[in-house]
Structure formats: C-alpha cells, structure tokens
Amino acid sequence: MAAIAAGAMALGAAACSFGTDDNTNTANQDASKVQTFQPNGRKATATLNIASGSENREVAAAVQKAADESGVAVTLNYMGSLDVMSALENGGENYDAVWPASSMWISMGDVKHLVKNQTSTSTTPVVFGIAKSKAVELGWADASGKTRAVGTTDIIDAVTAGKLRFSMTSATQSNSGASAYLAFATALAGTNQPLTAANLDDDALRAKLIALLKGVDRSSGSSDWLKDMVVANPDRFDAMVNYESLVIQADKQLTQNGHDPLLAVYPADGIAVSDSPLGYVDRGQKLDAAFADFVKALQSDDAKLEFERAGRRTGLGGTLTYASDAQVQQAFKADWGITTEASALRTIPLPAADVIRTSLDVYQTALRKPSYTIWVVDYSGSMSGDGKNGVVAGLQAALDPAQARQSHIEPSSKDVNVFIPFASQASQPITANGTDTAALLAAASERAAAGGTDIYDGLDRALDNLPADVTAYTTAIVLMTDGQSVTNHQSQFESTYRERGKDLPIFSIMFGEADPAQLDAIASLSNAKVFDGRTGGLASVFRQVKGYN
Amino acid sequence: MKITKSRIIGLVALIVVVGVLAGTMIWRQAQPKPVETTQVNGYLGGEKIGLFDDPQFAAATKAAGLDVNYRKAGSLDMMTADMTGMDYLFPSSRAAVEYGKAKGVSADGSDIVFNSPIVLYTHKAVVDGLVSGGLVTKDGETYHMDMAKAVDAMTANKTWADVGYAAGYGQFRIDSTDPVKSNSGNEYAALVATVLGGGNQPATVDTITRDAAKIQAIFAKSGWMETSSEDSFNQFLTLGVGSKPMMVGYESQILDLAVNQPAAYQQIKDDVVIVYPTPTVWSTHTLIPLTDNGRRLLSVLKSQDVQKLAWERHGFRAANFAGTDSISRFGVPSAADQLTAVSELPNNDAMQKLIAVLGGQS
C-alpha cells in the first residue's frame, strides 16, 4: 500500500513531488526518484534494488501485481537510460537489476558481463503526440483523429514555418530523446541504411537536424516528467516527442480534464521502438532466484494485462495480447491516433554502438538547440562550509567542459550560462558564453557566503537577464537555496514573472533548511520541478538539473 | 489442583512445542543427506542459458556435486574477459577456441559438447517474398536460402523490394550478432567470406584480403549488432518484422522456445520460420575447462542424460551432428532433420584475418 500511496502522490503532483508522508515505507524518498513495492499481506522474501527508466512509473500497477504474486519486494530507482548505462559501466553500483527503456543501453553499458536473464517486458514506439487541433491545422489529421503519414521533412517544414514547436527529452539523458534523434537522423540521411559516422560529418544532414531541433520548446531529462509538464499546461504545450504509452497516459489525463487529446503521429520514414528490458545484475549477491520469481510474475497474464492497460504492448512483434479487454481498448484508442497495425511501426535500423556514441556527442556539442541557463545561487551565511562547497562542486560538474562531458551535459559553443549569486539581495550577473566557463566558476568559488536569504530578489534579477529572443534557446532558470526566504519581494517577482517570464521553467534545488512550500509555489507558477539536494550530494543534483535543459 | 484456562494454554503450548521438535527430528532423519556441492562459475554463450537454467540440468549437476553458475558473454568476447575465479569457458564454436588460443587461452582438455547448425530466422511474409524473388527455395515445409545469390544481392545493394519483399524498409540485409564478439555473427561472416571466395572451399587469408571491402559493406548494412545470440533472437521475436526482417541464429533457439515457452511459441508459430542457408556451417559448442571443477562440469555435460536433455528440451544436436530422434518432435514445421550442404570453417589464420577486417584493424 505504501507504494501505491507514493505513486499516487507522484502522479497527482506534476509540478513537484517529494515524499513527505511519514506513514509509508517511502518516507523521505522522492517518489519521482524512488518507489518501493511491497508484496501485499506478507513479508517480502527478498528486495530487489532496480535501476529503472522513469517511464516505468506508469506501469506501477503491473509492478505491484508482480510483487504481490512473487512475494519479492522491488525498489525502482528512476533515472535516465544513459544513467543506467553508466551504472553498468561502473560495475552495477548497488543495483540488483536494470530496467532501461531499450536494450541498447544494456548492450553498450555491460562491458563487465554482469547482466543476466535479460527479458523484454513490453514494447512501445517513440512517436509525436500533437494536440488534435494542431494536427488538424497542420493537415496531419482529420476531425475523426485519423492521422496521415507524416515524414520527418514534413516536421522540419512545420518547424521552419513557425507552425510547430515540441518538447522532447535530451538525447544525451533519456532514451526517448535519443531514440527519436537517431530515427530523425537516419530518416534524414535518406540512405535506407543505418546511420554512419560519415553521415554525421555531412553538413547538409547537420543543417537539417539543427532546423528540426530548433523546434524543441522545452527539454527534460525524463520522459515521464515531460508528459506531466504537457498535461499540466496543455494550452502552452501542444506537441511532444514521447513513448506511445505516455501519449496514452497524457490523453487519459487531458480528456479527463476536458482538454484536447494529443494524437499519436508515427513518422512514416522510420521510428524507434522501446523494448523495456529487465535484466539481473550479477554482483555475486545471490538474488537471482528472487529475480527469476519476480520476472515470472511480471510476465504472468495478470501483470501483462496491466502493462497493456497502461498503454504498453506485450505481444510478440509489437502486437497487443489483450486487444479485446475493455480497458486496453480504452488505452489504444483510434481517435487518439493510436494504431496497433504492425505496418505503422517502420522501425529504423539502429546504428552501430560507436556511431550511437558519436551521434550523442554531436547532438550535445553541435546540433541541439543551444541552452540559456540562469543559475540563481544562494550565498547566505548558512551556506558557508558544506553548502558552498557543494554548490561549487555542482556548478563544476554541470559547467566545467571536461567534467560535464562525462555525463554528456557539456556546454556547446552557443550555450549561455549566467550566474547570479544572492543573499539578502541579488548581486551582479556573471555571464559565460560558450564553453569558456572558467571565469564564472572562479567567481562562484571566490564569492564568500554571508547575509540573509531573498530568493525572490535573485529570481527577479534573473528575469532582467533573459535573452532578447528566448525562442532561440531552451531557456531555464535554476534556483538553488538552503533557507527560508524573506518574502518582501515575492509578489513583485510573481507579477514580473507573469508579465515577462514567458512561461520559462524555474527549477529549484532544495538544500539545508529550504522551505518546500516556497519552492513548490515557484515550480507550479513556472510548470517546473523541485529537485531535492538534501540527500545524495549536490553535485549529482546540479548535473541532473542541467540534463533538463 | 484446579485447572485454569492459562494452565490449559500452557499445556497445549508445551505439547505443540514437543510435537514440532519431534516432527522436525523425524523429518530431518528422513531427508537424504545433502550432497556437498562446489560452486562452478564460467562464461557462457547466451543461447545455452535455457539449458543451464533448466531444473533438470541443475539436478544432474548437483548429483555430481556441482552448483553451476554462469556469466553471459559472447564466444569471442569471453576469450579476453577477466577469468579470475572462472572454472570454464563455454563458447559456441571451434573457431572461438582457436581465437582464444591465439589470445593465450589454453584449450587443454576442451571438447565438443553438442552442435547446432547456423540458420536464418525470418517471418512468413518475408520468406514468401524471397521465394517469389528466387533467393529462397521451398521444399515441403523447409526453406533454403541460396547464399551465393543472397551475397550477390547484398553486394549489389539490392533493396528488400528488389529481392521480392515489397513491404521491407531499406536494403536487403541479414542481421547477425557482432562478428567480432559473438559466435553466430562470426560464423555467418565466415560463410559470407567463403561464398565471396568462390564457395568451393573455405575462405582463405588471400580471398578475405581481396574481398575485405565487400565483407565490411555487408556487415555495415546491419548497423547495431547485439553481442549475444540470445538477445538478438529475443529482439527479433519482440520487435517484429519491421525491426529485424531476417536474422542469423542457431537452430536450437526456436526448438528451445517451442518446448520451454509454449505460449510464446503459439503466438509466433504461424509467422516465424527457419531458413537453412545453403551452404550452412555447424556451430560446435565446445567447453574449455579452466580448473578441475570445469573438467567435472564437462564430464557431466557429456553424460548421456544431459546429452538427451540438451536435445529433447533445448534442441542441441549431439556431438555426432544428429539428434537421437526426428526433429519433428518439436512441432516446428520448418525444421529439417538432415543438412546436406555444410561448409567447413576457414582455418584459424583466415578467421583471424576476418576478425581483423570486421574489427576495422585492416
């Protein structure tokens, strides 16, 4: 039950979610990051600690069923698929199993041969979800929701004409973004062959990809959060690249709220399919029997039915196993553009592993829309010591090109980073253009921590420093604070934001004695998210936040 | 003495405790003495996991005093993996053993355990197209791919539509595992090299040197390659015809599926077919013992019981290239009892050259 409570909280609070319910086993867990599923009515025989893609939050019902049936408890640690790959490269860390969105991350990460008994749990294609009215306006759908074949060049044309903007996860942080990007590149290369390193050097292909990625309105490190963001503000976001299963989840929520559904559009010249593999990580911990029991239960008819009700396909060859179930039909609805015909899934041949790595590098450094990030950082007296050290390490992890490269978040030559330290009031901004972030990082390190806390003055200053054309960048403000703020500038900031904040996301990093209520209000105002830096190290949280932009 | 309620409870509790203790002792005595088992660990080609996870196999090894564990690794990949604490390597071909020798792995005491031919897996719609296009011939329920024609078509960059399968995306290709890491891809590469070399005898260093660019081009068509035949087969089944129209695998894989996952097999049995390449190559699954425990495992694997189990429940043909009875027992219509056209693998120098060509070191 604990797990369900935490899950419901996570679903309910799109803008911000962290566990505060002390009656649950997930107390002190950020439910958007960690969820534990206990078998109902009996003590667990074992607990499996699983590194999982964030999209699996949506199949909680199936996971709970499998925990009940197998008697095995599981803890899902939600992260991007690339983090799953890194965990394997690091020897599996403390995980008993991995569950990324696609098996390519296991194959690329499992250099130490730790993964065993890898099984696909379900499949779902990566598609465009486009608000019905928008799709009709673009001529891509008729009033019944039936979509026509849309090619990648049609999408570029719509972006170039200023008719389409869409949200998509970062290709270097999340499988849905990476898969979509690889599918776009393969389709645009037009060779009818897997993408090659030579293709990526071709200026004409690069120009097309840059034109396409200009359409990216907001980025994210998590497919699931991207869906939540669109659902929370459908008037602002009318298109996203995401899993078919998350388009289905979004549509359930959107239609319930009286909004236009997103129509699933399957790019006709090639798409990628997520196969959601679950594999045991053998570190000698001897949980393979528990793993086998859990997987067996996850593949039982009951659990598979729950997968399909959540919008995943479980039949072989991308088909549905329970097409006649009423709730499955409520998920795979033709008037949401969903088609279960295998012919709609024209899958691209994936490139070779080294080409995938090169593709991701090129995306991060040359092709993605540049980012404009304003770092509003607390230097109040209480930050002195651990707090400040953590912040400096965090900024280095996110902005020092050599360090950031390890997490595939390094700045490109067109990125802009603005640093605004604040205490009782905001200081002058320091701007770093491109990859030369040394002066900014030196300033962050030299500045002493002293004085009070006024986050609103810091944020107000950030709004004075927006780029002239915010649509030229994926723009975000990142606020880091360790204390409760004075509020004399709060209403001024809020009115400035409504006036010229242009719906930009303000992500907060909570540390020390920060007030969750203040940060939640900022997250809902700007349809963004609060990251909890109180556990697990500030540096990793800064890195994660950068992955959202 | 007045018998109070609490006294009754106490008495009952005592009787229960005594009863449980006595019962436990009787039960303990009735149990056979547990066999002392020794942990055995090693690297295993993924296609043999079904056998190693089979409870009957576990029982057979346990009876011999072994508790067998494994790590999944490609047949070539395992030759350069960390062997600390490992008792055996169980790759899928002699070629991998030879490759290991060249990397300094002693093959002393190694032996062939069983065989499985390299086959192609595809879908009904694809095979029907290829039959009409002339690359594949149908003989009763079995299919044979003319590898010379197939290699020609790939070299000429024919599309799926050109070779008869109009619904295919892009160029005609046969997906395999990574030929530099995994055996099925490696043996398929040997087959391609042999066909390019003229086909009458196995490819040589000279023919491979001459045909290097063509061999590389054929493998470049596949892009992403799994490092395990098991993962590759599962992907083939899961993602369907749009993703992997045709793949290289072991004959045993579908036979294993038919026996051990009948529900899954039911879903695909009218769609997925075996196509035997002409010629094909035998995959000779060979165990290399690294320790005494590895040697003990080898003798269990060679025992008649395990050989029978490997055939009947997992589709591995015995070391003499035949099963113990007809392949029809598996109920896979496209499976063939007899393989007529079998090519020898190129010699080790040629295989090394092939790996260098495909690994980009030439």
Write the DSSP assignment of A27-76 as a string of letters.
TT--TTTEEEEPPTTS--SEEEEEEEEGGGGGGHHHHHHHHHHH-EEEEE
Helices (H) and strands (E) in chain B, counts: 14, 11
Closest chain A C-alpha to B8 CA, distance in angstroms: 31
What is the C-alpha separation between A264 and A130, in angstroms, rounded? 7
Higher pLDDT, A223 or A16: A223
A chain contacts of residue B234, beta-carbon cutoff 8 Å: 118-120
Name all domains of chain A by residue range, CATH numbers in brackets.
Answer: 2-123+275-299 (3.40.190.10), 125-273+343-362 (3.40.190.10), 370-546 (3.40.50.410)
Instruction: Note the pLDDT tens digit of each residue in A378-429.
Output: 999 999 998 999 999 999 999 999 999 988 899 999 999 999 999 999 999 9
> How many Cα atoms occupy the beta-carbon half-sphere of B133 within 13 Å?
22
Contact A169/A274 with Cβ under 8 angstroms? Answer: no
- On average, the pLDDT of chain A sits at 90
Instruction: Note the pLDDT tens digit of each residue in B245-258.
Output: 999 999 999 999 99
Nearest 10 degrees: Cα torsion A491, A493, A496, A500: -140
Mean pLDDT within A494-518: 92
Query: Per the CB < 8 Å rule, is B240 touching A350?
Result: no
What is the C-alpha separation between A412 and A363, in angstroms, rounded? 10
Query: Per the CB < 8 Å rule, is A350 touching B235?
Result: no
Give the DSSP per-residue string, B162-179: TTT-TT--SB---B-S-T
A chain contacts of residue B82, beta-carbon cutoff 8 Å: 112
Closest chain B C-alpha to A98 CA, distance in angstroms: 15
Give the DSSP per-residue string, B6-67: HHHHHHHHHHHHHHHHHHHHHHHHHSPPPPP-EEE-EEE-GGGHHHHT-HHHHHHHHHTTEE
Mean pLDDT within A168-182: 94
Mean pLDDT within B114-132: 96
Beta-strand relationship, A506-510 and B38-40 = unpaired
Q: Is B6 exposed, middle or buried (0-12, 13-18, 19+ CB in 10 A)?
A: exposed
Residue type, B76: L
Instruction: Assign A10 to helix, strand or coil.
Output: helix
B chain contacts of residue A121, beta-carbon cutoff 8 Å: none
Closest-approach residue (CA) in chain B for A354: B224
Residue A15 has a pLDDT of: 35
Instruction: Note the pLDDT tens digit of each residue in B255-298.
Output: 999 999 998 899 899 999 999 999 999 999 999 999 999 999 99
Handedness of CA A172, A176, A180, A183 (dihedral sign): positive
Residue A22 has a pLDDT of: 31
Residue A344 has a pLDDT of: 76
What is the C-alpha separation between A360 and A363, in angstroms, rounded? 5
Residue B32 has a pLDDT of: 55
Instruction: Note the pLDDT tens digit of each residue in B153-177.
Output: 999 999 999 999 998 878 899 999 9
> CA end-to-end span of chain B, whole Å?
99
Residue B271 has a pLDDT of: 93
CATH code of the domain covering residue B87: 3.40.190.290
Mean pLDDT within A173-193: 93
Beta-strand relationship, A277-281 and A97-99 = antiparallel
Residue B6 has a pLDDT of: 58
B chain contacts of residue A342, beta-carbon cutoff 8 Å: 240-242
What is the C-alpha separation between A111 and B78, in angstroms, rounded? 11
What is the C-alpha separation between B69 and B47, in angstroms, rounded? 15
| pLDDT exceeds 80 at position A25 | no
| pLDDT exceeds 70 at position B22 | no
Residue B167 has a pLDDT of: 84
Closest chain B C-alpha to A8 CA, distance in angstroms: 31
Closest chain B C-alpha to A211 CA, distance in angstroms: 25
Residue whose tokens read 């962290």 = A18
Tokens of A181: 């990007």
Task: Write down the ipTM of this complex.
Answer: 0.77
Q: What is the 3-state secondary structure (H, E, C) of B70-125?
A: CEECCCCHHHHCCCCCCCEEECCCHHHHHHHHHCCCCCCCCEEEEEEEEEEEEEHH
Mean pLDDT within B94-109: 92
Residue % of chain A over a pLDDT of 70: 94
| pLDDT exceeds 80 at position A141 | yes
pLDDT tier, B13 (very low <50, low <70, confident <90, very high otherwise): low
Mean pLDDT within A357-369: 94
Closest chain A C-alpha to B200 CA, distance in angstroms: 31
Instruction: Note the pLDDT tens digit of each residue in A52-110.
Output: 999 999 999 999 999 999 999 999 999 988 889 999 999 999 999 999 999 889 988 99
Choose the weakest-confidence range: A1-15, A97-111, A444-458: A1-15
What is the C-alpha separation between A549 and B99, in angstroms, rounded? 47
In a domain, B95, yes or no: yes
In a domain, B88, yes or no: yes
Instruction: Note the pLDDT tens digit of each residue in B194-239.
Output: 999 998 899 999 999 999 999 999 999 888 898 888 889 998 998 8
Residue B361 has a pLDDT of: 56
Residue B262 has a pLDDT of: 93
pLDDT tier, B15 (very low <50, low <70, confident <90, very high otherwise): low
pLDDT tier, B61 (very low <50, low <70, confident <90, very high otherwise): very high
Residue B228 has a pLDDT of: 87
| pLDDT exceeds 90 at position A33 | no
Residue B3 has a pLDDT of: 53
What is the C-alpha separation between A67 and A40, in angstroms, rounded? 8
Residue A13 has a pLDDT of: 36
* Maximum CA extent, chain B: 106
In a domain, B14, yes or no: no
Closest chain B C-alpha to A521 CA, distance in angstroms: 43
CA distances from B91 to A500, B73, B76, B114 (A): 65, 9, 8, 11
Mean pLDDT within A501-513: 91
The residue among B203, B308, B323, B182 whose CA lies nearest residue B251 is B323
Closest-approach residue (CA) in chain A for B52: A117
In a domain, B2, yes or no: no
What is the C-alpha separation between B286 and A330, in angstroms, rounded? 52
The residue among A193, A350, A196 whose CA lies nearest residue B154 is A193
Q: Into how many domains does chain B fold?
A: 1
Tokens of A185: 């590149």
Phi-psi region of B243 (alpha: psi -120 to 50; beta: other; left: phi over 0): alpha
Mean pLDDT within A270-274: 90
Residue A6 has a pLDDT of: 39
pLDDT tier, A2 (very low <50, low <70, confident <90, very high otherwise): very low
Phi-psi region of A469 (alpha: psi -120 to 50; beta: other; left: phi over 0): beta
**How wide is the angle at C-alpha A334 spanned by C-alphas A332 and A340, nearest 5°?**
55
Residue whose tokens read 């040394």 = A438
Q: Which residues contact B360 (CB under 8 A, 6 or more apart)?
A: none
Residue % of chain B over a pLDDT of 90: 72
Query: Per the CB < 8 Å rule, is A123 touching B242?
Result: no
In a domain, B9, yes or no: no
In a domain, B13, yes or no: no
Query: Per the CB < 8 Å rule, is A195 touching B235?
Result: no
Closest-approach residue (CA) in chain B for A270: B169
Question: How many other C-beta atoms can be found within 10 angstroms of the C-beta atom of residue B19?
Answer: 10
Which of B231, B233, B241 to probe the A interface (max A CBs under 10 A)? B231
Residue type, A245: S
In a domain, B5, yes or no: no
Residue A228 has a pLDDT of: 93
Residue B26 has a pLDDT of: 56
Beta-strand relationship, A124-131 and A273-274 = antiparallel
Query: What is the phi/psi pair of residue B259, to 5°?
Result: -80, -45
Residue type, A214: K
What is the C-alpha separation between A165 and A215, in angstroms, rounded? 5
The residue among A83, A122, A535, A307 whose CA lies nearest residue B238 is A122
Range of the domain at B282: 38-358
Q: Is A451 exposed, middle or buried (0-12, 13-18, 19+ CB in 10 A)?
A: middle
Q: Closest CB to B235: pick one of A103, A348, A349.
A: A103
Residue % of chain A over a pLDDT of 90: 76
Residue B28 has a pLDDT of: 54
Q: Is B321 exposed, middle or buried (0-12, 13-18, 19+ CB in 10 A)?
A: middle
Give Cα B131 distance to the centre of its chain: 27
Residue A149 has a pLDDT of: 84
Phi-psi region of B15 (alpha: psi -120 to 50; beta: other; left: phi over 0): alpha
B chain contacts of residue A118, beta-carbon cutoff 8 Å: 231, 234
User: How many CB contacts within 8 angstroms connect chain A with chain B?
Assistant: 108
Residue whose tokens read 């972030």 = A437
| pLDDT exceeds 60 at position A220 | yes
Do you find a cis peptide bond into B277, omega within 30 degrees of 0? no
Please, where are the H alpha helices in A166-239? 175-189, 197-201, 203-213, 223-232
Question: How many other C-beta atoms can be found within 10 angstroms of the C-beta atom of residue A206?
Answer: 17
Query: Per the CB < 8 Å rule, is B235 touching A275?
Result: yes
A chain contacts of residue B226, beta-carbon cutoff 8 Å: 103, 107
| pLDDT exceeds 90 at position A341 | no
Tokens of A1: 């039950």
